Amino acid sequence: MAAKSDNLSPDSRRRGIPRVPVSWIVLIAFDLCIVALVCAQDQPDSKQQPSDEAQVIELAGPVGIDDSDSQFEAIDVYVDSGTNPLAAYQFELASTTPGVKIVGIEGGEHAAYSDAPYYDSRAMRNNRVIIAAFNTGKDLPVGRSRVARIHVEIQGSGARSYRTRLSVSATVEGRRIPARVSLARIVI
């Protein structure tokens, strides 16, 4: 019997070591990058204005529909990084008005952020979402750029308010840059 165990193939010897799915490795790497960017932003720079203040933005809503009826709309999210290339962002969006349900998220208009960003699908169930993306390429958006489109289901008529907070905006080097987030309503 001892001779048999010496003749095990290299693959069968590795079976005692648990394999980690590639998707887990990618998610862990992404989380580490976001943590590094947030830590880099914690170092003060006297030339920068904080971009992580929450703001409430009111958008027009559907008009003339019954309170029990619903309509689908989209909210375009823009980040304005001024003259700096935007390599990473993270923002939170939450509905402060009842009758709003977040139902989907798409990427932005610039090639660097055209894929759907990372987000917490569990938070979406509470009409709140944290969205983040990063790109270490050379072709990055400068100025005002649509980074995401959030699909919502609106119940009833009237304007809706959303609380936004941009907590990360950084360059490829991880240097914090001043930026602003803004929203625009799109009727589908």
Per residue in 62-84, pLDDT tens? 777 787 888 899 999 999 999 99
Domain contains 71: yes
Domain contains 91: yes
Mapped onto helix, strand or coil, the DSSP state of residue 180 is strand
Reading across the β-sheet that carries 160-170, which strands appear in turn?
A: 55-59, 160-170, 88-95, 128-134, 118-119
Domain contains 150: yes
Q: Of 120 and 9, which is predicted with more confidence?
A: 120
Domain contains 3: no
- Give the domain range for residue 108: 22-187
Residue 45: predicted pLDDT: 40
Mapped onto helix, strand or coil, the DSSP state of residue 172 is coil
* Cα–Cα nearest to 72, from 149, 9, 179, 171: 149
Domain contains 40: yes
Domain contains 13: no
Weakest mean pLDDT among 41-45, 117-121, 133-137, 178-182: 41-45
Burial class (CB in 10 A: 0-12, 13-18, 19+), 30: middle
Q: How far apart are CA 152 and CA 102, in angstroms?
A: 4
| CATH (domain of 96) | 2.60.40.680
Residue 62: predicted pLDDT: 76
Query: Average pLDDT, stretch 90-102?
Result: 91
Domain contains 9: no
| One-letter identity of residue 37 | L
Domain contains 8: no
Sequence-distant (6+) residues with CB within 8 A of 176 are: 40, 41, 43, 45, 48, 51, 169, 170
In which band, very low, low, confident or very high, does the pLDDT at 118 lie, cut at 50, 70 and 90? very high
Number of domains in the chain: 1
**In this model, does residue 38 exceed pLDDT 50?**
yes
Residue 36: predicted pLDDT: 60
In which band, very low, low, confident or very high, does the pLDDT at 43 lie, cut at 50, 70 and 90? very low
The mean pLDDT of the chain is 81
Residue 32: predicted pLDDT: 66
Q: How far apart are CA 124 and CA 23, in angstroms?
A: 21
> How distant is the alpha carbon of residue 187 from its chain centre?
22
95 neighbors 161 (Cβ within 8 angstroms): yes
Per DSSP, helices labelled H in 59-114 are: none
Largest CA distance in the chain: 82
- Highest mean pLDDT (candidates 4-8, 51-55, 57-61, 166-170): 166-170
